[in-house]
Amino acid sequence: MGERPSERRVTDLMADVGGSQANISGHLACLKGCGLVVDRPQGRSSYYRIAQPEVRRLLEAAEALLAAVGHDVSLCDHYTGPVDITAPACCSGGAP
């Protein structure tokens, strides 16, 4: 039994997005803790997939919106300063 079409290993995601193993693993742990992704261990690997179809639909809608207006948003001068985003406890090593 191998990879299912909607599943990815950390190494697959590293190739797809160019991130480090530690960074991608950390993000996946956070997403899993929040219930947004699930994993399926197989041998020495784990395969990750989106947990709910609603999450996939949301991501597809966001992708379509960015395709339509992303260029205009990138030119907006209201978003040129630093953004302060504090990670929730599940993503920063705190208790869930």
Which amino acid does the sequence have at 31? L
What lies within 8 Å, CB to CB, of 24 at 6+ separation is 10, 13, 14, 17
What is the DSSP code (8-state) at residue 81?
S
Give the separation between CA 46 and CA 44, rounded to whole angstroms. 7
What pLDDT digit, counting tens, does each position of 7-53 carry? 999 999 999 999 899 999 999 999 999 999 999 999 999 999 999 99
Could you tell me if 11 and 47 are in contact, meaning their C-beta atoms sit under 8 angstroms apart?
no
Separation between Cα atoms, residue 52 and residue 59, nearest integer Å: 11
Q: Which domains does the chain have, with CATH numbers?
A: 10-76 (1.10.10.10)
pLDDT (0 to 100) of residue 1:
42
Amino acid at site 87: A
Q: What is the pTM of this model?
A: 0.68
Q: How many CB atoms lie within 10 A of CB 48?
A: 22
